[in-house]
């Protein structure tokens, strides 16, 4: 049976249809159900389901939607427990407005399970929410349960808490991360806040804000940690090359403790390790160094531009060097009374490069005292220079030269140069190039290669003058004395002695030779030598009693003023081809004021052999006695000769 109605059909009671039922002619027709319909079997709807008001809810069955689910912006889609009542959507679930999951009262774990394969597993990935507050929004915890989480676009979050491995491949911006495990960053990442137990970064880690680390920051060997400016022109780099660690920087590097002020900190930078001390391979420029415990070791140049306060010992194993390109002025005298200690100044006398040592004696008078440690580890006083500029030594002075405006008192003086001072007082010897003193020289002995000039010399030992300067007058020679010389003991003279005035002797005796040029108004010269021939060449060698000598074939002497007569006794003998000997006297008499006559006496021996040529040079005075020596005839022949010359 069929029911057909061209207008409205009203059923006031139950309507049971046992077979197919068609309502409406096409999709323009409308079926209005004022009561709640109940479908005991599946309902298949080929078109859309439009809900304009009320609540669309399911019973114990399933709703299978093969099309889209569209929820208007002013409406919501609410689901109960997904495990008991499922919503299976094979198409697109689109919410123009809000999409809300979870109960409106009570607490439970709300989640969305997602599966990518069939099978008996509950889910392949789950997104869920736990916790939360019944009065404050946004207090729940968002959980993602999956093997990995890949975000292919930039991620901006206010905070991330990671209890496992967080791997970031692309670019990411984080406002906050709490990481309790491993954070692996491959690409670029910007963190406004990051809290992590471990960070593994394969790329660039850029820190914009404040970073607090409760553990180590570790980078691989060959990698660096940079602190840079925005233009990358200035940086601070920490680097390790597996052989050494480096801190590289541009501009200046300042190490300071800024707990009080970032501009003018009052605390200091300290190296407190007892085993690993700081090593600076290049210049260390600092306004001050305070070392309280261990040694300060510098293997290079230590440049100190201001005052260095050292409260303990200063041990220098190398050579200390103090320099300044400018003049260092002494402090004013008004500041002397408040100081004690020792200062060094350079170039006090402008452009003279001198070094000045200043002793602050706390307002009193003091000097400089030099001590050393002996072989028995005992202190030995070397010398003392007092404030009156007196130098006192308990032993010797050995130096290039000694110059003192006051007294010099010591055990002995040894100098390669001169000794110049007011007085010299020593219990030992004075050995130097020369001695110049305005006062007395008192010592055991004097040994000098130069002059000794002083008021008096008092010595209990020897005076040894090593100078070889010859004396040609009373004011020349190695030793000159303005006054007389008193000799209590024996006087030994190796060279010739010249007396301008009389020589007075209580008695005169000599066991050896006695040489004098003039006596009893006479002058006497003795010449001794030999001539020989070898290889056709004649050689001559002779020496005179006045200290002259030569190798030429002649010699001459000046006749004394007012001399009118002269005698020369020539003695000789020969060896070689023949042996001859003889004595020949030569006599000279002045005949006029310009002429001399010569007479040759008889020769005793061989008169015609080995005779010299002798003459006086006539003319105006002074007159000379001139001798030309004879020449041996054959090779290996010798002529040995002496001349004894008397001038009256």
39-57 b/e (C-beta count within 10 Å ≥ 16 → b): eeeeeeeeeeeeeeeeeee
Residue 130 sits in the same domain as residue 235: yes
Residue that wins the pLDDT comparison between 535 and 483: 535
pLDDT digits (tens, 9 = 90+) for 154-175: 667 666 777 777 777 666 676 6
| Residue finishing a domain among 432, 465, 498 | 465
What is the chain's length?
648
Residue 87 sits in the same domain as residue 195: yes
Rounded alpha-carbon distances, angstroms, from residue 588 to 367, 490, 571: 77, 41, 18
Q: How would you list the strands of the sheet with 452-453, edge to edge? A: 402-403, 418-421, 434-437, 452-453
Q: Is the peptide bond before 622 cis (omega within 30 degrees of 0)?
A: yes
Q: Can you give the pTM of this predicted structure?
A: 0.30
In a domain, 185, yes or no: yes
CA dihedral 608, 612, 617, 618 (to 10 degrees): -10
Residue that wins the pLDDT comparison between 570 and 45: 570
In a domain, 480, yes or no: no
Q: Is residue 439 over pLDDT 70?
A: yes
Question: Is residue 110 within 8 Å of 102, Cβ to Cβ?
Answer: yes
Query: How far is Cα 448 from Cα 79, in angstroms, rounded to an integer?
Result: 125
In DSSP notation, 432-493 reads ESEEEESSEEEESEEEESS-EE-SEEEESS-EEE------SSTT-SS---SS----SS----
In a domain, 557, yes or no: yes
pLDDT confidence band for 348 (50 / 70 / 90): low
Residue 629 sits in the same domain as residue 535: yes
Q: Across the strands, what pairs with 185? A: 168, 201
Q: Which two tokens stand for residue 22?
A: 């068609």
Query: How far is Cα 229 from Cα 208, in angstroms, rounded to an integer?
Result: 11
The arithmetic mean of pLDDT across residues 168-194, rounded, is: 69
What CATH number corresponds to the domain at position 523?
Answer: 2.60.40
Neighbours of 542 (CB within 10 A): 22
Question: Is residue 446 within 8 Å of 458, Cβ to Cβ?
Answer: no
In a domain, 132, yes or no: yes
pLDDT digits (tens, 9 = 90+) for 232-245: 678 788 888 777 78
Q: Which two tokens stand for residue 379?
A: 């202190």
Q: Is the dihedral of CA 252, 255, 259, 264 positive or negative?
A: negative
pLDDT number for residue 582: 94
| Residue finishing a domain among 427, 445, 465 | 465
Question: What number of helices (H) and strands (E) belong to the chain?
Answer: 0, 48
Q: Is residue 13 over pLDDT 80?
A: no
DSSP three-state, residue 333: helix
pLDDT digits (tens, 9 = 90+) for 503-560: 777 776 666 666 677 777 789 999 999 999 999 999 999 999 988 999 999 999 999 8
pLDDT digits (tens, 9 = 90+) for 441-451: 878 778 777 77
HEC sequence for 537-572 = EEEEEEEECCCCEECCCEEEEECCCCCCEEEEEEEE
The arithmetic mean of pLDDT across residues 260-266, rounded, is: 53
DSSP three-state, residue 335: helix
Question: Is residue 58 within 8 Å of 84, Cβ to Cβ?
Answer: no
Residue 358 sits in the same domain as residue 221: no
In a domain, 479, yes or no: no
Neighbours of 616 (CB within 10 A): 20
pLDDT number for residue 85: 42
Residue that wins the pLDDT comparison between 379 and 204: 379
Question: Is residue 195 within 8 Å of 189, Cβ to Cβ?
Answer: no
From the list 262, 302, 266, the residue with the least C-alpha distance to 281 is: 302
Query: How far is Cα 187 from Cα 496, in angstroms, rounded to an integer?
Result: 108
Q: Across the strands, what pairs with 196? A: 179
Residue 243 sits in the same domain as residue 350: no
Residue that wins the pLDDT comparison between 529 and 362: 529
Query: How far is Cα 514 from Cα 531, in angstroms, rounded to an integer?
Result: 26
The arithmetic mean of pLDDT across residues 8-37, rounded, is: 71
Q: Which are the contacts of 456, defined by CB distance < 8 A and separation ≥ 6?
A: 440, 441
In a domain, 316, yes or no: no
In a domain, 476, yes or no: no
Query: How far is Cα 338 from Cα 351, in angstroms, rounded to an integer?
Result: 30
pLDDT digits (tens, 9 = 90+) for 313-328: 666 666 666 655 556 6
pLDDT number for residue 626: 94
From the list 129, 130, 133, 198, the residue with the least C-alpha distance to 163 is: 198
10 Å CB burial of residue 647 (0-12, 13-18, 19+) is buried
Residue 455 sits in the same domain as residue 543: no
Q: Is residue 177 over pLDDT 90?
A: no
pLDDT digits (tens, 9 = 90+) for 77-117: 665 443 334 455 555 666 655 667 777 666 667 788 888 87
Residue 451 sits in the same domain as residue 528: no
Residue 523 sits in the same domain as residue 439: no
pLDDT number for residue 83: 38
Strands 340-346 and 355-361: antiparallel
Query: How far is Cα 228 from Cα 239, in angstroms, rounded to an integer?
Result: 14
- Residue 389 sits at the vertex; the CA angle it makes with 440 and 355, to the nearest 5 degrees, is 125
Question: Is residue 532 within 8 Å of 638, Cβ to Cβ?
Answer: yes
pLDDT number for residue 510: 64
Q: Is residue 195 over pLDDT 80?
A: no
Q: Is residue 396 over pLDDT 80?
A: no
Query: How far is Cα 291 from Cα 289, in angstroms, rounded to an integer?
Result: 6
pLDDT digits (tens, 9 = 90+) for 599-634: 999 999 987 889 999 988 888 888 999 999 999 999
The arithmetic mean of pLDDT across residues 246-268, rounded, is: 63
| Residue finishing a domain among 443, 465, 487 | 465
Residue 139 sits in the same domain as residue 238: yes
pLDDT number for residue 644: 96
Query: How far is Cα 588 from Cα 625, in angstroms, rounded to an integer?
Result: 10
In a domain, 365, yes or no: yes
Percentage helix, strand, coil for the chain under 3-state DSSP, each rounded to 5: 0, 35, 65
pLDDT number for residue 570: 96
Residue 215's domain spans which residues? Answer: 69-115+124-249
* Total number of domains in the chain: 3
Q: Across the strands, what pairs with 178? A: 161, 195
Q: Which two tokens stand for residue 386?
A: 């007092």
Rounded to the nearest integer, the mean pLDDT of the chain is 75
Residue 457 sits in the same domain as residue 531: no
From the list 391, 396, 402, 470, the residue with the least C-alpha distance to 432 is: 402
Query: How far is Cα 197 from Cα 174, in angstroms, rounded to an integer?
Result: 17
pLDDT digits (tens, 9 = 90+) for 268-282: 556 655 555 566 666
pLDDT number for residue 627: 95
The arithmetic mean of pLDDT across residues 466-486, rounded, is: 82
pLDDT number for residue 205: 64
Residue 81 sits in the same domain as residue 158: yes
pLDDT number for residue 639: 96
10 Å CB burial of residue 606 (0-12, 13-18, 19+) is middle
pLDDT number for residue 123: 87
Place of tokens 């607490």: 107
Residue 458 sits in the same domain as residue 535: no
pLDDT number for residue 252: 67
């Amino acid at each position: 049976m069929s029911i057909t109605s061209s207008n409205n059909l009203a059923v006031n009671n139950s309507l049971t249809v046992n077979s197919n039922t068609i309502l409406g002619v096409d999709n323009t027709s409308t079926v209005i159900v004022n009561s709640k319909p109940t479908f005991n079997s599946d309902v298949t709807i080929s078109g859309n389901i439009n809900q304009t008001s009320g609540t669309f809810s399911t019973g114990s069955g399933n709703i299978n939607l093969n099309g889209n689910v569209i929820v208007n912006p002013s409406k919501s889609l609410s689901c109960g427990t997904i495990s008991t009542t499922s919503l299976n959507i094979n198409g697109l679930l689109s919410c123009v407005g809000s999409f809300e999951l979870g109960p409106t009262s009570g607490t439970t774990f709300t989640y969305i399970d997602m599966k990518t394969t069939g099978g008996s597993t509950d889910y392949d990935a789950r997104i869920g929410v736990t916790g939360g507050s019944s009065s404050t929004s946004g207090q729940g915890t968002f959980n993602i349960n999956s093997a990995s989480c890949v975000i292919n676009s930039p991620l901006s979050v206010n905070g991330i808490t990671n209890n496992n491995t967080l791997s970031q491949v692309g670019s990411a911006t984080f406002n906050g991360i709490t990481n309790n495990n491993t954070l692996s960053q491959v690409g670029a990442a910007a963190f406004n806040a990051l809290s992590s137990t471990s960070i593994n970064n394969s790329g660039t880690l850029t820190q914009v804000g404040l970073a607090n680390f409760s553990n180590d920051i570790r980078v691989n060997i060959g990698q660096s940690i940079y602190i840079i400016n925005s233009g990358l022109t200035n940086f601070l780099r920490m680097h390790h090359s597996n052989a050494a660690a480096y801190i590289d920087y541009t501009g200046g590097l300042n190490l300071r403790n800024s707990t009080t002020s970032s501009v003018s900190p009052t605390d200091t930078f300290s190296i407190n390790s007892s085993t690993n001390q700081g090593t600076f391979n290049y210049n260390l420029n600092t306004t001050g160094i305070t070392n309280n415990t261990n040694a300060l070791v510098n293997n290079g140049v230590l440049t100190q531009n201001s005052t260095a306060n050292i409260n303990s010992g200063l041990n220098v194993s190398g050579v200390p060097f103090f320099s300044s390109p400018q003049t260092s002025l002494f402090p004013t005298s008004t500041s002397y009374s408040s100081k004690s200690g020792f200062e060094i100044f350079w170039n006090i006398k402008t452009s003279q490069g001198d070094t000045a040592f200043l002793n602050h004696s706390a307002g009193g008078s003091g000097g400089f005292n030099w001590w050393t440690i002996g072989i028995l580890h005992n202190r030995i006083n070397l010398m003392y220079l007092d404030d009156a500029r007196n130098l006192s030594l308990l032993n010797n002075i050995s130096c290039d030269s000694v110059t003192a405006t006051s007294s010099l008192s010591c055990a002995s003086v040894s100098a390669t140069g001169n000794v110049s001072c007011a007085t010299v007082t020593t219990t030992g010897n004075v050995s130097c190039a020369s001695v110049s003193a305005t006062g007395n020289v008192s010592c055991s002995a004097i040994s000098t290669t130069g002059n000794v000039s002083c008021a008096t010399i008092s010595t209990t030992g020897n005076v040894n003058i090593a100078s070889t300067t010859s004396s040609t007058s009373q004011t020349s020679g190695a030793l000159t004395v303005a006054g007389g010389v008193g000799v209590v003991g024996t006087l030994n003279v190796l060279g010739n002695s010249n007396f301008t005035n009389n020589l007075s002797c209580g008695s005169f005796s000599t066991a050896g030779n006695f040489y004098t040029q003039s006596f009893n108004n006479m002058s006497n010269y003795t010449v001794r030598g030999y001539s020989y021939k070898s290889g056709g060449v004649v050689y001559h060698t002779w020496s005179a009693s006045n200290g002259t000598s030569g190798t030429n074939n002649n010699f001459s002497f000046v006749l004394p003023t007012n001399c009118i007569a002269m005698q020369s006794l020539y003695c000789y003998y020969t060896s070689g081809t023949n042996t001859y000997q003889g004595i020949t006297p030569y006599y000279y008499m002045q005949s006029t004021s310009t002429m001399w006559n010569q007479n040759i006496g008889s020769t005793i021996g061989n008169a015609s052999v080995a005779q010299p040529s002798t003459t006086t040079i006539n003319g105006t005075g002074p007159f000379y006695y001139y001798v030309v020596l004879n020449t041996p005839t054959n090779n290996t022949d010798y002529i040995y000769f002496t001349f004894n010359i008397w001038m009256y």
